[in-house]
Structure 1
Amino acid sequence: MTTLRDAESRSKGWGTARSAPPPGRGDRRPTQRRRRLQRILGEHPLGLLLSAPYTAFVVIVFLVPFGFGVWMAFHDFFFTAPGVAVPHPFVGLDNFRQVVDDASVRQAFGNLLVFLVVNLPLTVVLALLLATGLDAVVHWKGFFRVSYYIPYVTASVATLAVWIFMFNGNGVVNRLLGDLAPDPTWLANQHLIMPLIAVYVTWKNLGFYVLLFLAGLQAVPQELHEAAKVDGAGAWRRFRTVTLPGVRPVTSLVVLLSIIMTGQIFTEPYLLTGGGPNGASMTPALLMYQKGIQQGKPDVAAAIGMILVLAVMILSLVSRRLTERRS
C-alpha cells in the first residue's frame, strides 16, 4: 500500500515538475531574434556594409530625383530664382490631363512605338546570328569581339557625325542609290527618319548584345549538340532545338534591356534632327527636355516622365510573361 509519506513525496515531485519551465524555453526568444536578424541581414551581413556606398548612390542619384519627379507631376511647379520661396499648390491630375490632350505627346509615344517595332526584332535576330557565328569561329575570335564592341563604346556624337555624313542629301548612301534615293532625303523624310534612328541604335548597341548571347551560347552543354548530331539533326535543326531553348533566358534579358533603352532615346533624335521634321523623330525623353527646360514647364515634363516609366514597366512585364509562358 502506498503510504502517506509516499503520496506527499509524489505530490511534491509533480509540483516541482509543473513549476519548472520546460527545457529550452528560456533560450527560444534569443534564437528567434537571431533568426529574424539573420533573415533581414542575410547569411553574410558584411555584404550589406560593403554595398552601402552603392546603395547610397542609388538612393541619392535615382530614388530621390524620381520621388521629386512624382511630387512635381501632381503640383503646379515652375523654376524660380535661388532663394525665392513660391508656393506650389497641389493640382491633382491636371498635368496629366494636359499631357493626354497634347497632340505632340501622342506623336512622341507613337514614334517610340515605331522605333521599338524596328529596333527590337533587329537587335534580337542580328545579335543572336552574329553570336552564333562568332561562337563557331576558331581563329581571330578576340578580334571579332573587339570589332563588334567598338561602336558601343564610341561616343554617340562621333558616330552620329558619320551617319549624318552618310545620309545627308549629298551623302554616300544617296550617291550609291542614285535614282533610288528617297525624296525628301533620309534626315528630312517623315516616314524614314524614325526607322533610320532605330537602325543606327541597333548598329551601335549590337556589340553589347552579341557578347550577352555569346555568354549564353557558351553555357549551353556541348553534349546536347553532339547528341543531336548523332540523331542526324542538321545545322538548322540543332539551332532550332538546342541553341534557341538554351539562350532563351538571355533572349529575355536582351528584350528587357532593349525596351528599357527605348524609353531613354534622347541623344540620337536631338543631334540628328532636333525632333523634326514636324515632330517625326520626337521622343518622350526629348519632349520632356523641351517642355521642362526650354518651355519652363517641369511639372508637365514630370507627368510625361511618369507615363513613360509606367509604359516601360508594362511592356517589360508583358515581355517577361510571354517569355515565361514559352519556357
Structure 2
Amino acid sequence: MRTLLGRHPIGLVFIAPYVVFLAAIFAYPLGIAVYMSFYDWFFAAPGAKVDRPFVGFDNYVAVFQDPAVLRSFLNIAIFLVINVPLTVGLSLVLATALNAAIPFRTFFRVSFYVPYVTASVAVVGVWLFLFNSDGLVNNVLGGLAPEPSWLVNSGLTMPLIAVYVTWKQLGFFILLYLAALQNVPKELYESAAVDGASRIRSFWTVTVPGVRPATTLVVLLATITGANLFTEPYLLTGGGGPDGASASPVLVMYQKGIEQGHAGVGAAIGMVLVIVVLVISLINRYLLERD
C-alpha cells in the first residue's frame, strides 16, 4: 500500500480535485477528439440517432491533402519563429531591468502586466486603430507605409500578429523571470564584479545560466500557447485573411469542424497539432536542459 499510495496517502486527497479537473476538462475531451477523428462525425440535435460511419485514417489523409490546413501549419511555424525568441529575449532583458533598483519600478512592472490581463477584444481594437489602412501608423509613415497595408498584406500580417501576441503576453513571462531572478545568488554577481566583468558580461555568464529552468518553462509555454493561436487572427484579420495568410491550425479546425460541419476532419487537425506541439516541446526541452 505504501508503494502504491506513497508515504503520505493524505496527499492524494489534496490533489484529487485537480485530478478530477484535468480528467473532465482535458483528458475526456481529448479522448473524444481521438474517437471523432476516425469517424465521419457531424453534430446533430441532442438525442437524435444518426449514422456516423467509421472511416479509419481518411480524415487524416484529408488533412494532409488540404492546402488550407498545410498553409495554416506553415503560418504557425512563421509565428513561432518570430514569437518565441522575441518573447524569451524581451522578457528576460526587461525582467533583469525591472529587478534592479530603478525609479518607478512598481509602475513599470504594472504597466507591462496590464496588457496581459486586458480583454483581447479591447486590445485588438487599439491595434486595428493603429494598423488599419488609414490607421495612425500609416499616417505617421506616409509614403513609407507598406502597400497593401499591414493586416491585408500576406507577407506582413503573420509577423504583425506575432509581435502583437509577444507584446500582450510579455507581462506574464516577465513575472516568471522576476520570480526566477530571486533565486540567483547575489554573491555570483559580486564575484563577477570583483573579476572585472561588465554588466553585459555578468548578464551572459550569471543571469542567463541562473534562470535556465525558467527559460525552459517560458519556451514551452510560449510554444504551446502560440500553437493554439485563434483569437488574434480571428479578430485582427477577419478570420485568417488575406487568403489564409494568417489562418492558424486552430482557426482552420474551427472553420472545418464548426462552420462547415466536418467535425471528424476538425478533430484530425487537432490531433495532428497535438503531436506536432508535443514533438517541438520535447525537442526544446532536450536542447534547453542538456548539460
TM-score by length of 1: 0.87
Quick check: 1:195 aligned with 2:159? yes
Identity %, equivalent residues: 58
Residue 298 of structure 1 is matched in structure 2 by 263
Instruction: Kindly indicate whether residue 258 of structure 2 is the aligned counterpart of residue 321 of structure 1.
Output: no
Q: Specify the alignment match of 2:124 in structure 1.
A: 160
| 1: CA distance, partners of 2:231 / 2:259 | 16
Match of 1:110 in 2: 74
- What CA distance in whole angstroms lies between the structure 1 residues aligned with 2:6 and 2:81? 42
Whole-angstrom CA distance in 2 between matches of 1:39 and 1:258: 37
Unmatched 5+ stretches in structure 2: none
CA shift, 1:138, in A, is 4.1
Contact 2:75–2:158 under 8 Å retained in 1: yes
> What residue identity is the alignment partner of 1:314?
V
Tell me, yes or no, if structure 1 residue 232 matches structure 2 residue 196.
yes
* Aligned alpha-carbon RMSD (Å): 1.1
> What SS does the aligned partner of 1:219 have?
coil
For residues 161 and 47 of structure 1, the distance between their equivalents in structure 2, rounded to whole angstroms, comes to 46
Matched residue, 1:17: none
Larger C-alpha radius of gyration, 1 or 2?
1
Name the amino acid aligned to 1:44: H
Q: Which residue of 1 is the match for residue 251 of structure 2?
A: 286
Structure 2 residue aligned with 1:72 = 36
In structure 2, distance between residues paired with 1:43 and 1:165:
59
Q: Deviations over 1:212-245 (max 9, x none)?
A: 1111112100001111111111111111111111
Residue number in structure 2 paired with 1:147:
111
Q: Does 1:308 align with 2:262?
A: no
Provide the C-alpha distance between the structure 1 equivalents of 2:46 and 2:179, rounded to a whole number of angstroms.
51
Query: Does residue 1:184 correspond to 2:173, yes or no?
Result: no
Q: With the length of structure 2 as denominator, give the TM-score of the two structures.
A: 0.97
Determine which structure has greater relative contact order: mean sequence separation of CA pairs < 8 Å that are 6+ residues apart, divided by chain length: 2
- The answer to whether structure 1 residue 122 and structure 2 residue 86 are counterparts is yes
Aligned length: 290
Question: 2:182 aligns to what SS in structure 1?
Answer: helix
Q: Tell me the amino acid that sits aligned with residue 147 of structure 1.
A: S
Q: What pairs with 1:251-290 in structure 2 (closer than 5 Å)? A: 251-273=215-237, 274-290=239-255
SS in 1 for 2:3: helix
**Inter-CA distance 138–39: structure 2 relative to 1 (3 Å threshold):** farther
Cα displacement (A) at 1:43: 2.7
Where does residue 28 of structure 1 map in the other structure? none
Please give the alpha-carbon distance, in whole angstroms, between the structure 1 residues aligned to 2:95 and 2:44: 52
Structure 1: distance between partners of 2:50 and 2:160:
45
Q: Following superposition, which runs of at least 4 residues in structure 1 exceed 4 angstroms of deviation?
A: none
Mind listing any 5+ residue stretches in structure 1 that lack a counterpart? Answer: 1-36
